[in-house]
């Protein structure tokens, strides 16, 4: 019997695939007008620098690292106030960066670079690259931080084709690793080396094909890379069909014929399964995965012995499939405009997205473990979290504040996201059973025909629950690669697409009735992008149309995004506005900003993101003006904007919630929902899960732009 398909091969393939896939700029990012100032001319900079050195003569004379770091901070602070003086602001930031590098102060170095890149037309990648190369050899530089930045910088180099730059960073990292005992970085180092070496090989194969298009070795190598690393079978199989491996070439030609009958699909699956015995070692797992894909595709329509053989093969491959003697009804798909190929399902080797790399670090945060402990204690025997019946698990009366029973699916998804946000999975660890039971509850409450989580017959807002449940199952799939979660995610995505207003966005009604709002749209768009991150095909029109709708709700003068009116304020239920003024929250603005960022808008270039950032900076968290929904989006947005914005936001967030987290009794670890405008619907479960997610924000996803 063959062993179940493992993930070792894909651990490094995914690293490369993500880097390569990200190399193409998004349409959203490419259309943003660049509003940065030009770098001041050399003469003006020299004059300003002389004046600066004269003013800070005593500070410049201090050659100690502490002195240089202090002077760098003084210049950063001064530059922040000089918004109307581009010459002196540039020189201050440039000197702050130089001094911070000399002092081996990593945070201040990159704070200066972020500020420069945000205001001036400089090559930010070059700035970061130079700083990394200078800081890595410095023994006083905080290694964990600079290593994270170095790996990200190497990834950025590969995205733009600068493989020699990535190699230079890899060499510098390797030298620094010789002086540290941090074993956790060595696997990342091996991944980086593998990625750089493979990139160099890919370039060589492409050069060979340019010179000799029928070269069998180059066709095979580049075809295998295109299919099994990039997941681009449409372009990879024609290369493999001309490649040097006769068996793989035959399989590629059958793939290109696009077999439709279950019998021919079964036969192709068998060929891939048997080819794995003789194929090159590094392609054995992709061959088995391809076999599993075709067995899974054919199995529901097979009958008799072939169906049992397909199930047997899938069991040996480790893929969980329920026996079926009838053909399931596929969920209806939203018609696509223009390029239908953009939404064609793409089957590729699974790999956990690189953006999830830091999640386990969130588990050690002081507010996270108590919050997860409370959630574990209040999970129902069914695996769900309920807005009403969670109190049945209480041991005293301190966990009051019930919510609505209608949102159990959404609350379960939100609670699961809090566990997943700290790197916990259903495959092992202290919360494996919690996650397994919660996921089972969601899957048991997904309509297999429509893909909807929960009931779609409710008259109001059930799509919130569906979107959050979709995100939870998708993130569990992202962290585990569990085969049984893939199809539920695909079905959930199809339901989201069917619920969208044609050429627009979402609201409450399915089928859609042309009504839209930014709140529902934000959750839906983020759910789609999460699915896309794990290789699930989505309707690209949905992303384009949803972002266009969000733009239409954003006032170009104030940069506020409204709920259902352009530039309006966030929603409040009747009677709630007096206590929770909508003018004291930027929930919709923050939601819109996060949607823009995850779809490619660069915070340093987008006027909407720059303007929105000013609004969010003016509404920092405060317990006497709590809006957990806003804080959820605000935390993610401020982290994505850069370290300085995150530190300012996080300081206020921690001050607001740390002292209000319950510390005793059954409620220990939770937060009181009564201070929040939506707490009466979501209960203490909502308050605890969403505030836990706020705290986890810097670890749930890496920064998209640096």
User: Residue 97 contacts by C-beta under 8 Å, 6 or more apart in sequence?
Assistant: 72, 109, 112, 113, 116, 127, 131
pLDDT at 706: 62
Question: pLDDT tens for residues 161-174?
Answer: 787 888 888 888 88
Q: Which of 197-201, 215-219, 257-261, 306-310 has the weakest average pLDDT? A: 197-201
- DSSP assignment, residue 667? T
pLDDT at 231: 62
Q: Comparing 313-322, 349-358, 384-393, which segment has the lowest mean pLDDT?
A: 313-322
pLDDT value, residue 456: 66
DSSP class of residue 659 equals G
- CA distance linking residue 300 with residue 307, whole number of Å: 8
Interatomic CA distance for residues 569 and 562, integer angstroms: 5
Give the tens place of pLDDT for each residue, 183-212.
Answer: 777 777 887 887 778 877 888 888 899 999
Question: Which domains are delineated in the chain?
Answer: 9-201 (no CATH), 220-327 (no CATH), 354-700 (1.50.10.20)
Q: Identify the pLDDT of residue 398.
A: 79
Please give the Cα distance from 434 to 439 (Å, whole number): 9
Given a cut of 50, whether residue 599 has pLDDT beyond it is yes
First to last CA, the chain: 48
How far, in Å, are 218, 230, 282, 283 from residue 279 at the CA level? Answer: 17, 19, 8, 6
Task: Among 209-223, 366-380, 395-409, 435-449, name the one with the lowest average pLDDT.
Answer: 395-409
Task: Please tell me which residue, 489 or 27, carries the higher pLDDT value.
Answer: 489
Share above pLDDT 70 across residues of the chain, in percent, rounded to a whole number: 88
**Residue 338, pLDDT above cutoff 50:** no
pLDDT at site 174: 86
Predicted confidence at residue 320, as pLDDT, reads: 37
Question: Which residue blocks in 445-553 are alpha helix, DSSP H?
Answer: 462-480, 483-498, 518-533, 540-552
Instruction: Considering only residues 314 and 234, tell me which one the structure prediction assigns the higher pLDDT.
Output: 314
The reported pTM is: 0.56
d(CA 702, CA 706): 10
pLDDT over threshold 50, residue 346: no
3-class SS of residue 626? coil
- With cut-offs at 50, 70 and 90, classify the pLDDT of residue 268: very high
Which tens digit of pLDDT belongs to each residue from 289-320? 888 888 888 888 888 898 889 888 888 776 43
E strands along 51-205, which residues? none
Give the alpha-carbon dihedral of 316, 317, 318, 324, to 10 degrees.
-80
Query: Any residues with CB less than 8 A from the CB of 396 and at least 6 apart, and which?
Result: 665, 666, 667
pLDDT beyond 80 at 34: no
Residue carrying structure tokens 């030009």: 38
- Contact 292/319 with Cβ under 8 angstroms? yes
For the chain, percent of residues with pLDDT exceeding 90: 53
Rounded distance between C-alpha atoms, residue 135 and residue 109, angstroms: 9
């Amino acid at each position: 019997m063959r062993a179940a398909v493992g993930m070792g091969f894909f651990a490094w393939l995914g690293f490369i695939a993500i880097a390569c896939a990200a190399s193409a700029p998004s349409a959203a990012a490419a259309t943003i007008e660049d509003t940065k100032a030009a770098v001041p001319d050399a003469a003006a900079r020299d004059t300003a620098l002389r004046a600066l050195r004269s003013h800070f003569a005593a500070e410049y004379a201090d050659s100690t690292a502490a002195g240089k770091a202090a002077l760098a901070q003084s210049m950063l602070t001064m530059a922040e106030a000089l918004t109307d003086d581009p010459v002196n602001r540039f020189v201050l930031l440039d000197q702050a960066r130089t001094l911070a590098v000399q002092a081996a102060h990593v945070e201040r170095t990159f704070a200066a670079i972020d500020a420069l890149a945000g205001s001036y037309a400089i090559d930010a990648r070059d700035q970061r690259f130079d700083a990394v190369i200078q800081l890595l050899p410095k023994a006083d530089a905080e290694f964990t931080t600079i290593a994270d930045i170095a790996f990200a910088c190497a990834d950025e180099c590969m995205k733009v084709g600068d493989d020699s730059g990535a190699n230079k960073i890899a060499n510098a990292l390797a030298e620094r690793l010789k002086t540290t005992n941090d074993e956790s970085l060595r696997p990342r180092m091996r991944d980086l080396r593998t990625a750089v070496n493979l990139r160099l090989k890919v370039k060589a194969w492409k050069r060979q094909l340019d010179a000799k298009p029928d070269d069998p070795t180059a066709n095979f190598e580049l075809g295998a890379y295109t299919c099994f690393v990039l997941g681009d079978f449409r372009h990879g199989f024609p290369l493999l069909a001309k490649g040097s491996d006769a068996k793989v070439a035959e399989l590629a030609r059958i793939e290109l014929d696009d077999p439709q009958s279950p019998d021919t699909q079964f036969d192709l699956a068998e060929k891939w399964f048997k080819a794995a015995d003789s194929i090159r070692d590094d392609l054995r797992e992709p061959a088995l995965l391809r076999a599993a894909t075709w067995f899974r595709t054919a199995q529901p329509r097979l009958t008799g012995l072939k169906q049992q053989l397909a199930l047997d093969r899938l069991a040996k491959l480790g893929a969980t499939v329920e026996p079926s003697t009838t053909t399931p009804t596929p969920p209806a798909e939203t018609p696509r405009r223009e390029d239908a190929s953009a939404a064609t399902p793409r089957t590729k080797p699974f790999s956990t997205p690189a953006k999830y790399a830091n999640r386990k670090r969130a588990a050690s945060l002081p507010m996270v473990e108590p919050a997860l402990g409370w959630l574990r204690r209040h999970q129902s025997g069914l695996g769900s979290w309920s807005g009403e019946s969670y109190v049945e698990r209480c041991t005293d009366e301190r966990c009051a504040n019930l919510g609505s029973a209608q949102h159990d699916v959404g609350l379960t998804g939100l609670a699961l996201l809090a566990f997943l946000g700290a790197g916990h999975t259903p495959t092992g660890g202290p919360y494996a059973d919690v996650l397994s039971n919660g996921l089972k509850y969601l899957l048991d409450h997904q309509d297999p025909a429509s893909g909807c989580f929960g009931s779609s017959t409710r008259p109001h807002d059930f799509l919130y629950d569906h979107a959050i449940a979709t995100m939870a199952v998708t993130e569990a799939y992202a962290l585990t690669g569990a085969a049984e979660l893939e199809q539920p995610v695909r079905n959930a995505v199809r339901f989201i697409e069917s619920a969208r207003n044609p050429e627009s966005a979402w609201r409450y009604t399915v089928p859609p009735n042309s009504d839209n709002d930014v709140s529902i749209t934000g959750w839906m768009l983020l759910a789609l992008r999460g699915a896309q991150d794990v290789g699930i095909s989505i309707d690209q029109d949905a992303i384009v149309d949803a972002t266009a709708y969000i733009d239409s709700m954003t006032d170009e003068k104030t940069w506020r995004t409204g709920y259902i009116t352009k530039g309006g304020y966030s929603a409040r239920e009747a009677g709630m506005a007096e206590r929770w003024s909508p003018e004291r929250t930027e929930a919709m603005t923050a939601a819109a900003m996060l949607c823009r960022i995850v779809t490619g808008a660069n915070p340093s270039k987008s006027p909407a993101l720059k303007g929105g950032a000013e609004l969010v900076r003016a509404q920092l968290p405060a317990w006497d003006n709590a809006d957990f929904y806003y804080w959820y989006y605000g935390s993610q947005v401020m982290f994505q904007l850069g370290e300085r914005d995150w530190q300012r936001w996080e300081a206020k967030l921690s001050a607001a919630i740390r002292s209000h987290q319950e510390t005793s009794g059954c409620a220990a670890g939770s937060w009181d929902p009564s201070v929040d405008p939506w707490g009466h619907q979501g209960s203490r479960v909502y308050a605890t899960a969403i505030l836990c997610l706020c705290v986890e924000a810097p670890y749930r996803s890496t920064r998209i732009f640096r």
